[in-house]
Amino acid sequence: MNILLLPYPPSVNALWRNAGGRTYKTKRYTDWAADAARHISLQDKIETIRTPVQVELAVGRPDKRKRDIDNVVKAVFDLLEHHEILENDSLVHDFRAYWSKEVVGVQVIIKNLAGQAASE
């Protein structure tokens, strides 16, 4: 089992913008990704995972506004792949996300799924 603590990500609705026929990452997304990279660098190194996994996201609410929990998943999964924690986020065969009063930001728990090949 591997555990990471990350800052609360921007909503999936705030990750990308289109202009002039191109798609680009928003400043909010790139700022969060840089902060998340700093958080990752301060934690125990996780060797690249190349087998199917279960991922659990315990998400701390940043404020009292209504939010959709599924809007945090994309940024976190893409970050795990970008930093080579997961070889590819398609290796996430099972995941759960829930609100947690005990967590500030996002606690990512990664567990191997025994007996499954990456191609399944």
Give 60-71 pLDDT, tens digit per residue: 999 999 999 999
Does residue 120 fall inside a structural domain? no
Does residue 25 fall inside a structural domain? yes
* Residue 102 structure tokens: 């005990």
Q: Model's pTM, two decimal places? A: 0.87
Percentage of the chain lying above the pLDDT 90 cut:
82
CATH value at residue 41: 3.30.1330.70
Question: Which DSSP letter does residue 106 get?
Answer: E
Rounded Cα distance, 96 and 98, in Å: 7
Does residue 11 fall inside a structural domain? yes
Q: What is the mean pLDDT of residues 90-108?
A: 97
**Total of domains in the chain:** 1
SS3 content of the chain, % helix, strand, coil (to 5): 30, 30, 40
